Amino acid sequence: MQGSADDAAYLWDMLDAAKAAMFFSEGTNFEQYSHDRKAQWAVERAIEIIGEAARHVSSVFQNSHPEIPWLQIVAQRNVLAHEYGEIQQERLWALLQHHLPQLILTLENCMPPMKHLGT
């Protein structure tokens, strides 16, 4: 099912930010990550971008892709943006380890074809 013309751009932003979050934590374990403030902030920002883009994806596209946890993604963004004093790095680490790899695969599989400029 087709969504808005902007969906492809928002999905690309989600995918790019998810891959970036994985990159920022690559080669580390939780102990290292928990002492690396730069990596934490980078991951937090990437997850914020995922949520911000997700909330702009059309409801038509969201409804046609229930395998993506849209509400949870946006809710996590809201926690990061508005309740930053409550951020639990353990939860973000779990998200990196268990949820982002699957989100990346899902987004890659449901991305609408990108139109080339000038066509």
Judge whether 58 and 4 are in contact, CB under 8 Å.
Answer: yes
Q: Which residues, in sequence order, are CB contacts of 49 under 8 Å at separation 6+?
A: 13, 14, 17
The pairs formed by 18-22 with CB atoms below 8 angstroms and a separation of 24 or more are 18/46, 18/50, 18/100, 18/103, 18/104, 18/107, 19/104, 20/46, 21/46, 21/47, 21/50, 21/96, 21/100, 22/96, 22/100, 22/101, 22/104
What global pTM score does this model have? Answer: 0.87
Q: Which residues are catalytic?
A: 77, 82
Q: Give the pLDDT confidence score for residue 32 in this predicted structure.
A: 96
Q: Give the pLDDT confidence score for residue 116 in this predicted structure.
A: 52
- Give the DSSP H/E element, type plus range, for residue 90: helix 89-94
Ranges of the chain whose pLDDT falls below 70: 1-4, 84, 112-119
d(CA 36, CA 43): 11
Q: Give the pLDDT confidence score for residue 113 in this predicted structure.
A: 67
Distances (CA, A) of 54 to 14, 15, 28: 7, 10, 27
